[in-house]
Structure 1
Amino acid sequence: MEWLSSLVARLPYPSRTMQRAFAIAAIVAQGGIGVTGSIVRVTGSGLGCPTWPQCFSGSMFPVEHPEYETLTQWIEFGNRLLTGVVGIVAALCVLAAWRIQIEYPNRKRLVKLAWTMPGGVLAQALIGGVTVLTGLLWWTVAVHFLASAVLVWLAVLLLHAFNEGDEPPRWKVGQADRNLLTMLVVAMGALLAAGTTVTGAGPHGGDPDTPRLDAPIETLTFVHGALLAVYLIVLAVLGLRWIRLGASAALWRRYTVVWAVALAQGALGSVQTALGVPESLVSFHVLGSALVIIATASLWCAARERGPVISHTRRENKPEVVAAE
């Protein structure tokens, strides 16, 4: 690894703008691949490429086939190609973090977070292969989505890691508020998991012949909605405490964004149910899920600090201390 580290050391030191750009690109890529996956599902293109890692046996690309429409093949194949884009973004994050650690060896947490990006791409590729080879079983699709949710969360943490120090976290809120924030994250995780069961029992399985979850969708939808209510109640209690005890402007900004995104997502889900889950709204709901994760993760990060971050600019040839938000 020493020879590889020496190669990385020859790269230009990433500016703060580049660091931020790579991390934001990781958030967009990890969330976006989930959205494009939903497009594959609602268009019934999940088995447009019936094998993995090849599209068809003996070919990495779509081929003329009497059993598979050309359009569905290219929709599924296009989603696979996007994995390569996500992988490139992940590699850029690792190189940037690695280059920073070479300059500042104590930045180990930053590098560990950066490595979760390509690690996640590899894991998602394997999960995607299992999903295809098992004929799009609903629970494999659910695992695929939930893995994306975790990676979106980690990408937000990575963005903050580029802009904060490496000291142990110091919380800006009290223990009770920390407990409420933990409850909020747990409620969000349960909400996302419940949403995958609604999808599993719903009409959009990715292929007309895919077996669906044998459970009453009305009950699953009720549970999903109830968990959203729990999430919003915890969020409301947290806000009431901050009104009484006070909170920073940064916390209030991110708190407000969480409310806006969560309410919009809830309203969209209600419209979907009322209209019978039209295909055109499914991908927007998946996008909304990613935005809820991003907003919640940003609120979590704003509630603690890790000291100032030291950035180094080769052009100025001197260290610059930048206070973390």
Structure 2
Amino acid sequence: MSRSWRIVLGLAWASLVANCLLVVTGGAVRLTGSGLGCPTWPQCGDGSYVTHSAYGLHGAIEFGNRMLTFVLALVAVATLVSALTARPYRRGPVLLALGLFLGIPAQAVIGGITVLTKLNPWVVMLHLMCSLLMVAAAALLVVRVREGDAPARSELAQPLRHLTSALLGLVLVICYLGAVVTGSGPHAGDLEAKRTGLDPDRMSQLHADGVFLLVGLTVALLVALHATGAPAVVRRAAAVLLVVELAQSVIGFVQFFTGLPAALVAAHMLGATVLVAAAVHLVLSTRTRATRVPAARPAASAARPAVAART
């Protein structure tokens, strides 16, 4: 890998970490009841784009989360510029970096809508899921920068390949169900924020059922990978995913039976970002991409035409 692409790789990792932290800080806004600390958007309130003493600690927390978006934007710009100027030019990573950059203003608009709708839980869920998709895109960028650009070659049989993709889809569904649980229970972000009206206990049971299915399918995948002699990198990726799932399960059950303490809820949100990144890594580990080899130039003629003998 060239030096310029090593820089892009470092920035891709920074983008992944920053997107994960944005999910956690967004959760902190909700967990501290600061969702309307800045009562409007894009201004914070009273004609000012920054918070002031009248909004107190809640205003500072909400404004701080908004400022983190600008940090994320700077990382995204640096990543995109570095990918555009890195040599050799690589179209795939550039498009991913562009997608991450364009996702930030889109996320900011959705965040603004959550404020303007007074923390409507369904809009808050959309905001979280978009953030998790940004995490997935950043994880994809990290892998794409590290690998080549030749056509992907599968390392697994088709049924196992489909199972890894199904696991990623199930992870996203479970994350959404977790968001529905949150939107139906406490920690609304503001005392006057509406809830979904769904039964939190029933939604928690549905969420837990999805987790049981996810863990069971992951265990089945690991057994199949070992039985078929799958590459070690795929088996490691599946094992990492299983460990993250089990850790998330423990945190989820403990937080449910202890009354949803804020610290555990924040840890569960961080775990959701790691879970998504691990699932993306598993899917990408099932194929390889070699580095493209430039086409060889036509060989020059080895011999000059013979000189006609003098007569």
TM over 0.5: yes
CA contact (8 A) 2:150 2:292 kept: no
Residue in 2 that maps onto 1:122: 105
Structure 2 counterpart of 1:37, from 26, 40, 45: 26
Distance, in Å, in 1 between the alignment partners of 2:3 and 2:193 is: 46
Residue in 2 that maps onto 1:108: 91
CA contact (8 A) 1:258 1:296 kept: yes
- How do 1:132-143 and structure 2 match up within 5 A? 132-143=115-126
Residue in 1 that maps onto 2:150: 167
**Which residue identity lines up with residue 80 of structure 1 in the other structure?**
R
- How do 1:42-81 and structure 2 match up within 5 A? 42-65=31-54, 68=55, 70-81=56-67
Residue in 1 that maps onto 2:225: 242
- How do 1:1-325 and structure 2 match up within 5 A? 14-65=3-54, 68=55, 70-100=56-86, 103-105=87-89, 107-308=90-291
**Which residue identity lines up with residue 184 of structure 1 in the other structure?**
L
1:200-239 CA-to-partner distances (Å, cap 9, x unmatched) read 0110011011011101111100110111111112211211
Residue in 2 that maps onto 1:320: none
Residue in 2 that maps onto 1:316: none
Q: 1:309 to 1:163 in 2, by over 3 A?
A: farther
Distance, in Å, in 1 between the alignment partners of 2:289 and 2:253 is: 40
Give 3-state SS (helix, strand or coil) of 1:136's partner: coil
**Which residue identity lines up with residue 131 of structure 1 in the other structure?**
T
Give 3-state SS (helix, strand or coil) of 1:15's partner: helix
Distance, in Å, in 2 between the alignment partners of 1:63 and 1:20 is: 39
Q: 1:16 to 1:109 in 2, by over 3 A?
A: closer
Distance, in Å, in 2 between the alignment partners of 1:309 and 1:164 is: 10
Q: 1:118 to 1:16 in 2, by over 3 A?
A: closer
Give 3-state SS (helix, strand or coil) of 1:52's partner: coil
**Which residue identity lines up with residue 15 of structure 1 in the other structure?**
S
1:40-60 CA-to-partner distances (Å, cap 9, x unmatched) read 000000100011111113101
Bigger radius of gyration among the two: 2
Q: Which runs of 5+ in 2 are unaligned?
A: 294-311
Q: 1:147 to 1:309 in 2, by over 3 A?
A: farther
Give 3-state SS (helix, strand or coil) of 2:188's partner: coil
Distance, in Å, in 2 between the alignment partners of 1:131 and 1:309 is: 45
**Which residue identity lines up with residue 229 of structure 1 in the other structure?**
F
- Aligned-pair distance for 1:123? 0.8
CA contact (8 A) 1:26 1:86 kept: yes
1:231-255 CA-to-partner distances (Å, cap 9, x unmatched) read 1122112111112101222122222
Size of the aligned set, in residue pairs, is 292
Q: Which moved more, 1:246-255 or 1:278-287?
A: 246-255
Please list every run of at least 4 consecutive aligned residues from structure 1 whose deviation after the TM superposition is greater than 6 angstroms: none
Distance, in Å, in 2 between the alignment partners of 1:230 and 1:80 is: 36
RMSD between aligned residues = 1.4
- Aligned-pair distance for 1:17? 3.5
CA contact (8 A) 1:56 1:63 kept: no
Q: Which runs of 5+ in 1 are unaligned?
A: 1-12, 311-325
Q: 1:20 to 1:234 in 2, by over 3 A?
A: same
CA contact (8 A) 1:44 1:208 kept: yes
Q: Which moved more, 1:126-135 or 1:116-125?
A: 116-125
